[in-house]
Structure 1
Amino acid sequence: MLKHSRLVQGLLVWFLATGVAMAANWQALPDKAPEPADNPTTAEKVELGQMLYFDPRFSQTGTVSCNSCHNLMLGGDDNRNFSMGVHGKTGGRSAPTVWNAAFASSQFWNGRAASLEEQAKGPVVNPVEMGMSDLEKAMSRVRAIPGYKPYFERAFGGKDPVTVDNAAKAVAAFERTLITPNSPYDRFVKGDKTALTAQQQRGMQAFADTGCTSCHSGPAFNGPAMPAGTGFFMKFPTFTDNSYVKKYDFMKDKGRFESTGNKVDMYLFKVPTLRNVSLTAPYFHNGSVATLGEAIRVMAKLQLNADLDDTKVADIEAFLNALTGEFPEQKLPRLPATPGWSLLSGN
């Protein structure tokens, strides 16, 4: 107990010495993502899930995969305001990053999916995204590729493992490996006082003093820990009497209300992660803001009714750049082939 007390006192002295406010929000990202009891992560599931993630043949046109909109060679999105799906169609919301999505308690901007497993099924049958008429039709394409069956058998066993649910579990297992720990910020809160520059430390303080941590808290900067399937939502915009609302058309999308029809959900959006935020421009659910500096100004005004000067914006932006973590190496999988014939003939 005495040793623990001295450790806490030592950390407090260190934080004060660096000039950064001690707060419960300063948490490093875990090295492993949480996983549900009914889908423990295994190497076999991850291997299969990566294949399915990169395979475009399960879209209506054979042109769109998960990676098309959530590009792992980038920031886990596609840097477009609206992602492009089959037949060049675009939706009404910007693709959120898949990196560190495993630390969110619900998925999609409106939190309509309770888990990564549930989320994995959604884009396949979305007419604007992958465009399949139903999940079983998509699964029939998987079954038609002989090379996939051994991977399902190794990952799940059983008599008939090539199922929709198992495919979703495999993709989810792969996505739980997509985490980016050990950012400069993480190293700083673990005790490396040199990990953040003086400007980034000022930005960390300004981030807290401005009130940003009231929403963007926790290790993923996406809010407090919530029960699985329960999203953390905030109203956006909160303050509407300003020029930004009209300029960026923020009143058009009514948020969670559009999926629930419940008036209490009007303009509620799931709080997104700020991890690797410097890599995921353009910003907000409609991708309307091109730069991170402008996004900081907009958030301060719309959510906190605060006007930030250029110095404070630059300091906070510097801090947010320190949330870019280390990306696990990605090797493109070799997908099971269809020698001598095309799965997509006639499409």
Structure 2
Amino acid sequence: MEWTLEQQALATIKSPMVSQGVPLQTMIDRLAQDSRLRREFAAIYDRSIDIDGVVDAIAYYERSLVTPGSRFDLWLAGNNSAMNEQALRGYKRFKQLGCVSCHQGQNVGGNLLQKHGIFRPLATPEPRILRVPSLRNVATTAPYFHDGSARTLDQAVKKMAASQLNVDLKPQEVVDLVAFLNTLTGNYAGQKVRAPE
């Protein structure tokens, strides 16, 4: 089942793992205590803060996070020089290993829920089921995993292969896979996405 951004935002807000059991109305009441937020919400939605507006605002924000123009996008569009041989080897291995079965689609993930730690522990065991993250801009988003336990992309790639695929990657495979993942960094507002300083 593919969800809309609105459905995903509402499910996330309702999730006890995210909301820590706080009822939706309590969350809305807490947001409404912020006078600036109340004014801005009313200016945009012409009403008081409500769950439909909050869900719409989250989805609107998420739609603004498009980062086109990655080297991978350019390569897909026919620019054969956009990816070097190492990145191409990494992409080939990414597909051979089966990473694409979860990290698929336009965002190279982000549209499935999956168990983690299938073959070996990945990170902290809870929550057991997580949204498969998009790999867009992954080279700029360290640390990795839901608990931040992988400090580098190399560590994340090795742990992911072991945990989800029961594969111990060779050092060169890790280097190649990371080279491919680096090609997924796009542009935002006309500038290359960079890691926060």
TM range (shorter): 0.7 to 0.9
Extract unaligned runs of 5+ from structure 1: 1-103, 108-112, 128-132, 224-230, 256-266, 331-347
Extract unaligned runs of 5+ from structure 2: 21-25, 192-197
Change (3 A) 1:214 1:169: closer
Q: Which one of 118, 131, 136 corresponds to residue 238 of structure 1?
A: 118
Change (3 A) 1:167 1:202: same
Q: Secondary structure at the match of 2:150?
A: coil
Task: Tell me if the contact between 2:71 and 2:185 (Cα under 8 Å) persists in the aligned partners.
Answer: yes
Q: Secondary structure at the match of 1:234?
A: strand
Pairwise CA distance, 1:195: 0.9
1:222 maps to 2:109 = yes
Q: Secondary structure at the match of 1:269?
A: strand
Between Structure 1 and Structure 2, the one with more helix by share is: 2
Give the equivalent residue in structure 2 for 1:302: 163
Q: Distance in 1 between matches of 2:39 and 2:141?
A: 33
Q: Which one of 48, 68, 86 corresponds to residue 162 of structure 1?
A: 48
Give the equivalent residue in structure 1 for 2:39: 148
Change (3 A) 1:289 1:168: same
Pairwise CA distance, 1:167: 4.2
Change (3 A) 1:119 1:302: closer
Give the equivalent residue in structure 2 for 1:139: 32
TM-score normalised by the chain length of structure 2: 0.78
Task: Tell me if the contact between 2:109 and 2:135 (Cα under 8 Å) persists in the aligned partners.
Answer: yes
Spell out the pairing of 1:101-140 with structure 2 (5 A cutoff): 105=3, 114-116=7-9, 119=12, 126=19, 134-140=27-33
Letter aligned with residue 200 of structure 1: A
Q: Secondary structure at the match of 1:115?
A: helix
Task: Tell me if the contact between 1:221 and 1:273 (Cα under 8 Å) persists in the aligned partners.
Answer: yes
CA deviation vs aligned residue, 1:107-157 (integer Å, no higher than 9, x gap): 8xxxxx9333564688xx957xxxxx6422421423xx49926x634x334
1:321 maps to 2:182 = yes
The number of equivalent residue pairs is 184
Letter aligned with residue 117 of structure 2: P
Pairwise CA distance, 1:175: 2.7
Q: Which one of 126, 132, 144 corresponds to residue 254 of structure 1?
A: 126
Give the equivalent residue in structure 1 for 2:82: 195
Q: Secondary structure at the match of 1:206?
A: helix
Give the equivalent residue in structure 1 for 2:195: none
Give the equivalent residue in structure 2 for 1:40: none
Letter aligned with residue 253 of structure 1: P
Spell out the pairing of 1:329-344 with structure 2 (5 A cutoff): none
Give the equivalent residue in structure 1 for 2:72: 185
Change (3 A) 1:199 1:328: same
Change (3 A) 1:239 1:329: same
Q: Distance in 2 between matches of 1:305 and 1:139?
A: 48
Q: Secondary structure at the match of 1:220?
A: coil
Q: Secondary structure at the match of 1:205?
A: helix
TM-score normalised by the chain length of structure 1: 0.46
